Amino acid sequence: MKRILVTGACGLVGSDLVLALQSKFGSENIIALDLHDPPKEFQGRFEKMDVRDFEKLKSLILQYDIGQIFHLAGLLSAGSEKNPDMAWDVNLSGLKNVLDIAKDHNIRVFWPSSIGVYGETTPKILTPQHTSFEPNTMYGVTKVSGELLCQYYHHRYGVDVRSLRYPGLNGYKAMPGDGTTEYAIHIFYGLIRENRYECFLSADTRLPMMYMDDAIRGTLMLMDAPSEAITIRTSYNFTAISFTPAELVAEIRKISPDFKIIYKPDYRQKIADSWSQSIDDSQARKDWGWKEEYDLPKMTTALYEGIKERISNE
Instruction: Indicate whether 211 belongs to the interface with ligand AKB (CB under 6 A).
Output: no
Q: Which of 29, 142, 181, 237 binds ligand AKB (CB under 6 A)?
A: 181
- Name which of residues 51 to 90 contact ligand AKB (CB under 6 A): 76-77
| CB closer to ligand AKB, 53 vs 178 | 178
Q: Which of 64, 118, 139, 304 is catalytic?
A: 139
Segment contacting ligand AKB by CB under 6 A, of 13-21, 44-52, 178-186, 235-243: 178-186
Q: Which of 70, 110, 153, 166 binds ligand AKB (CB under 6 A)?
A: 166
Give CA angle at 305 (300, 309), nearest 5°: 145
Instruction: Indicate whether 279 belongs to the interface with ligand AKB (CB under 6 A).
Output: no
Residue 300 neighbours by CB distance under 10 Å: 24
- Pair 166, 282: CB distance under 8 Å: no
**CB of 74: closest distance to ligand AKB in angstroms?**
9
| Strand-strand pairing, 45-48 and 207-211 | unpaired
Instruction: Indicate whether 163 belongs to the interface with ligand AKB (CB under 6 A).
Output: no
Instruction: Indicate whether 168 belongs to the interface with ligand AKB (CB under 6 A).
Output: yes
Q: Which of 17, 115, 199, 261 binds ligand AKB (CB under 6 A)?
A: 115
To the nearest 10°, report the CA torsion of 57, 63, 65, 70: -30
Locate the DSSP E strands across 93-247: 108-114, 161-166, 168-170, 196-199, 207-211, 236-237, 241-243
Based on the residue annotation, tell me whether 172 is a catalytic residue of this protein. no
Helix (H) or strand (E) holding 229: none
| CB closer to ligand AKB, 182 vs 281 | 182
- Pair 153, 161: CB distance under 8 Å: yes
CA atoms of 1 and 297, how far apart (whole Å): 39
Q: Which of 91, 114, 163, 237 binds ligand AKB (CB under 6 A)?
A: 114
Q: Which residue is nearest to ligand AKB (CB)?
A: 179
| CB closer to ligand AKB, 29 vs 80 | 80
Give CA angle at 74 (235, 159), nearest 5°: 45
What number of chain residues touch ligand AKB (CB under 6 A)? Answer: 11
| CB closer to ligand AKB, 135 vs 190 | 135
Distances (CA, A) of 292 to 4, 17, 239, 240: 25, 17, 8, 6
CA 261 to chain centroid, in Å, comes to 26
Instruction: Indicate whether 274 belongs to the interface with ligand AKB (CB under 6 A).
Output: no
Residues involved in catalysis: 139
Interacting residue ranges for ligand AKB, rule: CB under 6 A: 76-77, 114-116, 166, 168, 179-182
